[in-house]
Amino acid sequence: MGKTLRKLEVSSPVPADIDIANSVAPLHISDIAQELDLAPQHYDLYGKYKAKVLLSVIDELKGKEDGYYVVVGGITPTPLGEGKSTTTVGLCQALGAFLDKKVVTCLRQPSQGPTFGIKGGAAGGGYSQVIPMDEFNLHLTGDIHAITAANNLLAAAIDTRIFHESTQSDKALFNRLCPPNKEGKRTFNEVMLGRLQKLGISKSNPEDLTPTEAKQFARLDINPDSITWRRVMDVNDRFLRKISIGQGPEEKGMVRETGFDISVASEIMAVLALTTSLPDMRARLGKMVVGNSRGGDPITADDLGVGGALAVLMKDAINPTLMQTLEGTPVLVHAGPFANIAHGNSSIVADKIALKLVGPGGFVVTEAGFGADIGTEKFMNIKCRYSGLKPQCAVIVATIRALKMHGGGPDVVAGRPLDRAYVTENVALVEAGCINLARHIKNTKAYGVNVVVAVNMFSTDSEAELNAVRTAALSAGAFDAVICTHHAHGGKGAVDLGIAVQKACESVTQPLTFLYPLDISIKEKIEAIAKSYGASGVEYSEQAEKQIEMYSKQGFSGLPICMAKTQYSFSHNASEKGAPSGFVLPIRDVRGSIGAGFIYPLVGTMSTMPGLPTRPCFYDIDIDTETGRVIGLS
Amino acid sequence: MGKTLRKLEVSSPVPADIDIANSVAPLHISDIAQELDLAPQHYDLYGKYKAKVLLSVIDELKGKEDGYYVVVGGITPTPLGEGKSTTTVGLCQALGAFLDKKVVTCLRQPSQGPTFGIKGGAAGGGYSQVIPMDEFNLHLTGDIHAITAANNLLAAAIDTRIFHESTQSDKALFNRLCPPNKEGKRTFNEVMLGRLQKLGISKSNPEDLTPTEAKQFARLDINPDSITWRRVMDVNDRFLRKISIGQGPEEKGMVRETGFDISVASEIMAVLALTTSLPDMRARLGKMVVGNSRGGDPITADDLGVGGALAVLMKDAINPTLMQTLEGTPVLVHAGPFANIAHGNSSIVADKIALKLVGPGGFVVTEAGFGADIGTEKFMNIKCRYSGLKPQCAVIVATIRALKMHGGGPDVVAGRPLDRAYVTENVALVEAGCINLARHIKNTKAYGVNVVVAVNMFSTDSEAELNAVRTAALSAGAFDAVICTHHAHGGKGAVDLGIAVQKACESVTQPLTFLYPLDISIKEKIEAIAKSYGASGVEYSEQAEKQIEMYSKQGFSGLPICMAKTQYSFSHNASEKGAPSGFVLPIRDVRGSIGAGFIYPLVGTMSTMPGLPTRPCFYDIDIDTETGRVIGLS
C-alpha cells in the first residue's frame, strides 16, 4: 500500500456525509487496483471509479496464503443504528493509511429502495466512507439489476408453464418441449437430461420414452398454491406486497394471488452471496425450489429449463466491485442479502479474493448485518461453513446510546429527539446495559475467535461512561475494548482499534467451532440457535411443523438454519432489551432457500417490501444539469 | 479509419449467427474509440468491449461539421423480418472496411424479453453483426435497467402519494411535505417551487401560504381511474398484463387494477431516445404526465417531487454505448423505444455524437423500426423535428420474399416452412408486389431525401426477379436500387450499396419537408399521416374523441403524432398487403407521452407485454462454466 493513500483534512463539527464525500476527488480505480497488484487483465473497468475484479484471480493466486479475516458485528442496536458500516470502513482506513497494512474492506451493496425512500445511502458516514457515494448507492455495476432480471424471468417461467400445461395435451406439450430439428430428429439438451435423471428415467433419446415417461417429463404439474417464488423490484413499492396476477382475458381466468419483494430479498441475492465459483453458482441457481408439484415433489429452476439462462444473466454479477475509501484504501462491494430472511453478509467470493490480495499479514474486514446474534451467528454458521474460511477476530460495535437503552433508558425512536438520558452522563445506565454486550461477547467468543469491542464514540459520551464499557467488555472475555472516533477523524480515530485487531488476529489459537453440526434435525438446529438467544425453549406453529416435516421429507434437513428474527432484541420481542432469558421462542413458519442453501424459520412477521413515506428522500435528490453532479443524496 | 479493420473469412453455407460472432475476437473497445479520435476522458469503459461515450463530446466538437446522415427503413415486412438491422450493419461494414469512409452505425438496444422468449437476439445476422453478441443482448451498460428502476420509482410514488393523501389532514400533509429543519424553519425546494408556479402561487416562504394554497400545493388529488402510468419489467411476463395491486391489509383496501408493460415500452425509454441534452432530459422527465387530478389537471412527475430522482437514475443511461461490428467498424447502441406506441428509433444523442465523430464526408447510418410507413415517418416527423438534423439519404430494405407476399403470394407464418412460391422464380408475383415498395419510395422521397433501395438477397432469388425490383424501384423515383449480399459476405456484399448511398448523399439538394406542421389540430395531423397510408379518411371512437378534446384542452395539441399501427400493412388491417387505399382508418383511443413529447393514437390493440412460448429460447441458453462463455443464444 502507500501510493494511493490520501491525507484527510477534517473539519469540526463533522459536515454532512455528502459534503465530505464530494470534498475528496477519488483516484482512478486502476490506481487502487495496481496497489493490490492487480493487472488490467484481472479486472473490468466500469467507468473511472469502479471495476469488477474477475473471479479468476482466486485461481491465479491459489498458492498464496490468506491474510487475516475480521468480521464486524454489533450489539443489539437502537433504531438509529450504531455505526457498524462506519466502523468497518474506519478500521480499514486506520489499518491501511496509518498502520501500513495491506487491507481490503468487504461491504454489501445497498438496495436502491432505501436510497430513495427513508434511510438514505449506506456508504459509511462522516470521515469513514466509501466514495463516490452516488455510484455506491445507485446501480453500482448492475448486480442488483441482474438479480431482478433473473428472479423475474424465473417467475414468468413458472406462471407461463402452468398456463401452457393447462391448455395442452401431454403429447402436444412433449412435442413442443422437444421439437424435431431440421433433419426431423428430436434431442434432449443438458437441462432436460438433468430432469430425466431426477425422475429416474435413464433414456437419452426422446423417441424412446413411453407415453407415461413423456408425461412425467413434460408435465411439472405445479401446485399454484405451493408457489413460494415471488417477483422482485428494487423499489420501495408497498402496493405490490399483495397483488393478483393473470387478470387479462388472454390468461383465461388463471388468476393467482402473489406479491413482490424488494430485490435484495430474492433468493438469487443469497445465492450470489454464498456461491464460491461459477460452476457452483450455476448449480445453486438450478436447484432453487419454486414450489411443489401436486404430488409434493419440489420443482426447481432447472425443472423449468431456466437455470442456465439465470446463470447467464448473473455471469458478470459474480465478480465483486472494487471501490475506495475516503483515505484511498480498497473496498470490495458485493451482494447484499436481507439480514432477516437471508443471512445479511456480503459475498464469499469477495472475501476470498480479498484474502488472497492482502496476503499474509494483511487484513480483510467484512461486515455482518444486524446485531451479532443474527449477523455474526449467520456469518459463522452459514457463510464460513460454505466458504471454509476462518476468521481470527470479531469486532463488536457498541455505542453508549445503545448500552443506555439496554440498561433501561427510554425508547429511542427514529425521527424524534433523543431523551436527555442519552446526552448526559449516566454511568449506572451504561453499566446495566453492558449485560447485552456481555452476551454478544460470550456468544461470539464461542466460535473460537478473539473478540474486540469497538466503542463508536459520540461527542456526548463521558470518560466514565466509556471506561465502564471497557471494564465490562474485558470482564466478559473480550480480547480488548477500544474507544474510536473514526466518524469525526477518519482512520486516525481508529488506530487503537486497528492495533487491537492486529494483536487479536496474531494471538488467536483456537479452531473455528460452529454452534451446531449440520447432521442433526432442523428442530435441533433451531433450538441450538434459540439457546444462544437466551431462550428456554422453542414453540412451533402448526404451519411450522408441517413445513419442517415437508423439508425433512424432501431431503433438505441437512441445510444450515437462517433465523428470521428481529434485530432489536435477543428475543422475538423487539421491546425486550438487555439480555432476556427464559422465554419461549415462537416459530411461526419455516421456509427454504434451497438453492442458496439454508432453511429460514420465521420468528414473527418479516416485511420484505418497504414503503415510501409522505416525503421520501427522492424529494431532495436531483441532478445539477450544469455539472452532472448528483445533489441531495443522504 | 483503418487500423481496427478486420478481414473476414466467410464460409458457405453461412454458419449460425452465434458461431460467426464467436469466431471473431473483438478488439479492445479503446482501440475502436481511438480510431474515432476519442481520448480516454471522452468515454467510460464498461469491461473490455463496451464503453459509454460521454455526452460532453457533442459540446467539445460543436465547431466541427456533421457527416452524412442515412436512415434505414424497410418495405412492409413479413413476420420473418426483411433484414433491416443486418443491412444497416452490412452497409456500415462496406463503407468503413471497403470504401475507406469514416462511419458509425447507430442501433437500438434490444429488450431482454425476446432474447429469452421467442425472437432471440437483435445484433444483425450472418456476416453483418455487432459483437460481442451476448453483451449486446444482455444488460449492455444497464440503460434498460435504469429505465425500469426510474419507471417503477415513479409508479410507487403515485400509489403511495394517493395513500398518504387519503389518510392525512391537509395540515398534516403540508407539514410532512415541508418539515421544519433543525432551526425550525420550513423551506420549499426547487421542485416544490415549480409546483407552486404551476398553481399560480408566487410565494416562496411556506409560512406565507394561506390554508387554501397549502392544500392546493399538498393535495395532488389524483383520480385513480385516470392513472396512465404503468409499471414495467424487461421480461416477457404475460401474467402481469392485468393485475390488481394494494391487496395487503396495510394498504387499507386501496385496491386498484393496473398492469406491467415491457420496459422498452416505458415513456422513459422514449424520453431517452428523444432527449438532446442533460437539462433537456431532466425537464422531459419532470413533465411526464401520469394521470389527472379529480379536477382534470394533468399530474406530472415533478408534481410528485420525483423528477430529479428519475434524472439521477438516468444520468449514465444518457451516454450511448460504443461497440463494434464483425469487421471492426464502430457502433453506437442507444435506446430502443417500442416502434408502435413509441417512435421506434435509436437516440438523438447517439446520432448527434456520431455525426460529429465521422465529420464531413463520413457517414452515420441509423435504423428506423418497422416498415417505412411507421419507422421512417416517425424518424422524420418526430425524431428529426426534435433533433434539428436532416438526413440526406433513406435506404429502403426489400426482399423478394416480402415483395412476392405483397404481390399476392400465400401467407408467410413464422415457424412454418415457406410456400414453394417463395423459393422458386415468379417474376410476375414480384412485379405485382412492387406496388408496396413504390408507395414507400414515394412517401419517403417527399421528405426531401434521396431514396436508395437495398434488396437483401437470398440464395433462392433469381436474376430476373432482382432485375424486376430494380426496374420498379427506379421508375417509382428511387435514386438507385442495389442488390446486396452482406448476410453471406459481410461488408464486401454491400459495397455497391455503399457507393449508391454515397452518391445519394452527395447529390441531395432539397430541404427536409415534414409531412405536417405542428400548429394544426391533433385530428388534422392524424389525417395527414392516414393519407400517407392510403386512407380516404379517419374514424374516431367516442373514447378517442374524448381524449383528443382532453389533450387539446390541457395544451398538448402542438405535439407531433406517433401512430400505433400494425407494421404488416399500410392500413390498420395486417392482412391487407400491397398498397391498399380508400379505407377508413379507425382510431380506437388516443394517449400521450407528454414528457417524451408526442401524442399516440391507437389504431387497433397494441400488446405492450409479450408472453413466453411453451419452449422459450431460455431452454437452450446456458453458461459454459469452464470458459465462462454464453452458449445457446440465437
pLDDT bracket for residue A135 (50, 70, 90): very high
The reply to whether B106 falls in a domain is yes
Per-residue confidence (pLDDT) for residue A2, from 0 to 100: 64
The reply to whether B560 falls in a domain is yes
Number of domains in chain A: 3
Q: Please report residues of A whose CB lies closer than 8 A to that of B619.
A: 177, 189, 191-192, 305-306
A495-527: pLDDT as tens digits: 999 999 999 999 998 999 999 999 999 999 999
Of A552-566, B8-22, B418-432, which gets the smallest average pLDDT?
A: B8-22
pLDDT over threshold 90, residue A615: yes
Residues A344, A272 within the same domain: no
Residues B165, B130 within the same domain: no
Q: Do B156 and A236 touch (CB under 8 A)?
A: yes
Nearest by Cα to A589 from A560, A564, A557:
A564
Which has more confidence, B312 or A339? B312
Q: Do B278 and A625 touch (CB under 8 A)?
A: yes
Residues A345, A392 within the same domain: yes
Per-residue confidence (pLDDT) for residue A183, from 0 to 100: 83
Best mean pLDDT range from A172-186, A209-223, B177-191: A209-223
Q: What is the CATH number of the domain that holds B31?
A: 3.40.50.300
Q: Out of B46, B152, B242, name the one closest to residue A235 (CB).
A: B152
Closest chain B residue by Cα to residue A163: B614
Cell 405536417 belongs to residue: B516
Q: What is the CATH number of the domain that holds A535?
A: 3.10.410.10
A25-54: pLDDT as tens digits: 999 999 999 999 999 999 999 999 999 999
Per-residue confidence (pLDDT) for residue A415, from 0 to 100: 76
pLDDT bracket for residue B634 (50, 70, 90): confident
Q: Please report residues of B whose CB lies closer than 8 A to that of A168.
A: 614
Residues A590, A531 within the same domain: yes
A321-331: pLDDT as tens digits: 999 999 999 99
Q: Out of A139, A234, A241, name the one closest to residue B142 (CB).
A: A139
Per-residue confidence (pLDDT) for residue A3, from 0 to 100: 75
Closest chain B residue by Cα to residue A190: B620
The reply to whether A612 falls in a domain is no
CA distance B271 to A221: 43
Rounded (10°) CA dihedral B372, B375, B381, B386:
-150
Q: What is the CATH number of the domain that holds A235?
A: 3.30.1510.10
Residues B149, B59 within the same domain: no
Domain boundary among B313, B344, B373: B313
The reply to whether B85 falls in a domain is yes
Residues B250, B360 within the same domain: no
CA distance B367 to B537: 30
Domain range for B155:
144-313
A147-182: pLDDT as tens digits: 999 999 999 999 999 999 999 999 999 999 999 887
Domain boundary among B472, B506, B540: B506
Residues B108, B91 within the same domain: yes
Domain boundary among B254, B279, B313: B313
Per-residue confidence (pLDDT) for residue B1, from 0 to 100: 47
Per-residue confidence (pLDDT) for residue A41, from 0 to 100: 94
Average confidence (pLDDT) over A367-380: 95
CA distance A303 to B632: 18
- φ, ψ at A177 (rounded to 5°): -75, -35
Taking CA atoms, B599 is separated from A218, A248, A583, B160, B552, in Å, by: 46, 25, 64, 27, 11
Average pLDDT, chain B: 95
Average confidence (pLDDT) over A540-553: 97
Helix A143-167 to helix A267-274 angle (10° resolution) is: 130
- Proportion of chain A above pLDDT 90, given as a percent: 91
pLDDT bracket for residue B7 (50, 70, 90): confident
Closest chain A residue by Cα to residue B53: A47
Per-residue confidence (pLDDT) for residue A1, from 0 to 100: 47
The reply to whether A583 falls in a domain is yes
Residues B370, B228 within the same domain: no
The reply to whether B425 falls in a domain is yes
Per-residue confidence (pLDDT) for residue A330, from 0 to 100: 98
Q: Which three cell numbers stand for residue B541?
A: 371512437
Nearest by Cα to A335 from A289, A283, A281:
A281
Of A215-224, A563-572, B116-125, which gets the smallest average pLDDT?
A: B116-125
B572-594: pLDDT as tens digits: 999 999 999 999 999 999 999 99
Residues B107, B37 within the same domain: yes
A218 membership: H or E segment, kind and range: helix A211-218
B313-323: pLDDT as tens digits: 999 999 999 99
Q: How far is B35 from chain A (nearest CA, A)?
A: 20
pLDDT over threshold 90, residue B619: yes
Residues B230, B281 within the same domain: yes
Residues B440, B531 within the same domain: no
pLDDT bracket for residue A339 (50, 70, 90): confident
CA distance A560 to A574: 24
- Interface confidence (ipTM) of the complex: 0.96
Q: Which three cell numbers stand for residue A401?
A: 446510546
Average confidence (pLDDT) over B89-102: 97
Residues B152, B288 within the same domain: yes
pLDDT over threshold 70, residue A84: yes
- φ, ψ at B243 (rounded to 5°): -140, 165
Per-residue confidence (pLDDT) for residue B183, from 0 to 100: 84
The reply to whether A190 falls in a domain is yes
Of A108-117, A353-362, A557-566, B273-282, which gets the smallest average pLDDT?
A: A108-117
B29-61: pLDDT as tens digits: 999 999 999 999 999 999 999 999 999 999 999
Q: Please report residues of B whose CB lies closer than 8 A to that of A243.
A: 243-247
pLDDT bracket for residue B2 (50, 70, 90): low
The reply to whether B631 falls in a domain is no
B553-562: pLDDT as tens digits: 999 999 999 9
Q: How far is B250 from chain A (nearest CA, A)?
A: 9
Q: How far is B621 from chain A (nearest CA, A)?
A: 5
